[in-house]
Amino acid sequence: MPRTALVLGGGGLTGIGWEVGMLVGLAEAGVDLGGADVVIGTSAGSIVGAQLTSRLHPLEELYAHQLAAPDGRPVDRMGPAMFARFATIALRSRNAVSFGARMGRLALTAHTVPEAAHRRGIARTLGVHDWPARRLMVTAVDAVTGARTAFDATSGVPLLDAVSASCAVPGVYPPVTIDGKRWVDGGVHSSANVDLAAGYDRVVVIAPIAVSGGPIVAPRTQGARLTGEGARVCVITPDRAARSAFGRNVLDPAKRADAARAGRRQSATHAPEVRALWTT
């Protein structure tokens, strides 16, 4: 049997909404990507991946949650200015690891909410406590060395810790401490970390952030490399309507519903290709 991988990239709250909308729409078209042999989640994708593989809540329920009104909590910011700052650091870095170390230094010196508050926020969003039976990989970057790792159920790390680390955007949220090490967002290494799906026969990538910069390789480029190695790969990134729905701050919960609806609509465009890849 062909081995399948689903890769879910980072992209803030709007990225979560868009990914959930995309997954719901594809399921309506007869493609259940939650049955993948491995799900690889980065940042926002780690939350969606954990929710999807846990099977605690149907996709329609997860989608309905994306449509709910914001709960009034303060809005964090991650907009064009922050992405421009990250891009500048990327252009000055030799490779993804050196970029990770630079971003780690930024994270370690930034004034943010306390680490415990960040974990509580992720716990509320995640709603899942234990690693799923199906294989889930959650990416994070060592804030000191810049090296990427992928936590899974065999790592001895609680799921909440792994996801909190994967979602620790430098300069916005604090690094997360796990076994004495500090970890930051897995998207620092790559917005989707598609390369971790090497060796799988069929790969679907849902990546809210399509762009690259400096040593950071775009999801489509990573997907093309897997294709060159013999895999069948489909990379889905936001269309114009989805990008418009995201707005200028991907951490704005008020934009989450529009992003989810945009993902569900866009799924119709990709359903035939994904169905052919996944089921034949």
For the four alpha carbons of 192, 197, 189 and 52, in that order, the dihedral sign comes to positive
Residue holding tokens 């418009």?
Answer: 244
d(CA 200, CA 48): 21
Q: What tokens were used for 156?
A: 């001895």
Q: Is 43 an annotated catalytic residue?
A: yes
185 is catalytic: yes
Nearest partner of 47 among 256, 232, 230, judged by Cα: 256
| Measured distance CA(10)–CA(7) in Å, rounded | 10
d(CA 166, CA 125): 14
What six digits make up the tokens of 181?
Answer: 């090490």
Catalytic residue among 185, 195, 252, 258: 185
Task: Measure the CA angle with vertex 107, ends 101 and 112; round to 5°.
Answer: 175
Count of CA atoms in the C-beta half-sphere (13 A) of 82: 19
Per DSSP, what are the bridge partners of residue 184?
Answer: 141
Choice among 43, 54, 166, 267 that is catalytic: 43
Judging by DSSP bridges, how do beta strands 38-41 and 4-8 pair with one another?
parallel
**Would you state the structure tokens that stand for residue 160, as one six-digit string?**
């909440």
Q: How far apart are CA 224 and CA 116, in angstroms?
A: 39
The two structure tokens encoding residue 189: 């290494």
**Residues forming the active site:** 43, 185
